[in-house]
Structures are given as structure tokens and as C-alpha cells.
Amino acid sequence: MPRETCNTCLRPPKVCYCSALVSLASTIRVVIIQHPQEKKHPFNTGRMTHLCLSNSELMVAETLSKYQLDTLLSDSSALLYPSLEWLPDSTELDENRHLREKSSNRQATIKQLIVIDATWKKSKRILHLNPLLQKLPRINLTGGLESNYKIRKTSIADGLSTIESIATAMQLLEQSDIYLRLLEPFEKMIALQQRSYTVEPA
């Protein structure tokens, strides 16, 4: 018999975080490209983000067709992704709200933020399989940010979860602390899970 789960967050009732979900509107649209394996992970913060942001889209795929990408990227878009030598120059956003740009006024033209929700290895694979994503202007979070993702390990130093990355980027791009409310269901999920204490590798 299948285990009972919440229809919204897909978590078992005892660790359902839905009471902490928020509803936020944004000027910048957030598109989350989620690796299929991430969809099955119990600590799925890409889905959590989508549940909280009304102006967002969650796409579960490893490879997108040229038509899908052309349609998706019809608006002025930027890719939220860490530094890699083979990616274009980036706009850096740091924790002190200081913007360091390699092209002037780039943040004012961003209408859509593209985010890859996957492990580090799988996210690089998505980029390799979808070259159009590599050509996007890139936003890189800097400033020694620390993750509170205590229930899931990562191999990347100072790596943030998807929801933490989006909350920080949107806070800085739209210059509003309201996006930190995205962390409310995230913190509740962590607290609930720590009660039964399970640590799962990313």
C-alpha cells in the first residue's frame, strides 16, 4: 500500500510543511528547470519555491527542445548559476547588496530568471545538453553565503539550496526583503525533518 502523502508538498503528513507556505508576487518571472531525479527527492526545494511564487514555472526535464527553449527564452532572461570558465561573463550579486556588473544596467533588463534545480553534477549536464542556456547572461551569488540546508549534504563549498539561491537573488534583483519569506517553509521542513533526523546526500 502506498505511503500517504500531502497532495501539495508531496511529503508524509507528519513532515508536511504546507502551513508555512507563502504566496509572493514578483516582477521578474522565475523559471525552474528541474532534473527528473530531483523531482523524486523528498527535500525538493524547487517545487517548494514554485508553490510560493505566483510568477513562476516549474519544468521537469533534462533536455528541452529548441522550440521549448526559443519559446521559454523569448523574454530577456538571465541564468542563476555559479562561476564556470566556459560560461559567459556574469553579473555578481553579493550579500551586502553590492552589484558588480560586466555590462551596464543588466539587472534592469532582466524579465526572467532561469534556475536549474539539480545536484551540481546533474546541473552541469543540463547545461551541456542545452547550449542555449549557456549563452544567457549569468548571475552569480557571491559574498560567502552559508546554507542552512542541514538535512541534505552537498559537495560544493558554501553551496545553497535552490530555494535559498532564488530567495537571495530575488531579494537583491528586486531590492525587497519580502523574498526572504520564501525561507519560511524551508525552515519548517528542516525543523520537521530534524525531529526524525535523517541526513541524505545530494
Of residues 133 and 148, the one with the higher pLDDT is 133
CA pseudo-torsion sign 160, 48, 116, 72:
negative
In a domain, 12, yes or no: no
Of residues 146 and 132, the one with the higher pLDDT is 132
Flag whether pLDDT at 30 surpasses 90.
yes
Flag whether pLDDT at 49 surpasses 80.
yes
Domain range enclosing 117: 21-94+103-142+152-192
The C-alpha atoms of residue 157 and residue 160 are separated, in whole angstroms, by: 9
In a domain, 29, yes or no: yes
> 162-173 vs 183-196: helix axis angle to the nearest 10?
160
So what's the pLDDT on residue 93? 67
In a domain, 15, yes or no: no
In a domain, 5, yes or no: no
So what's the pLDDT on residue 1? 57
47 burial (CB, 10 Å; 0-12 / 13-18 / 19+) is: buried
Domain tally, the chain: 1
In a domain, 156, yes or no: yes
The C-alpha atoms of residue 7 and residue 136 are separated, in whole angstroms, by: 35
Flag whether pLDDT at 102 surpasses 50.
no
| Residues pairing with 53 in the sheet | 24
In a domain, 74, yes or no: yes
pTM (2 d.p.):
0.84
In a domain, 32, yes or no: yes
Mean pLDDT, the chain, whole residue set: 83
Flag whether pLDDT at 112 surpasses 70.
yes
In a domain, 31, yes or no: yes
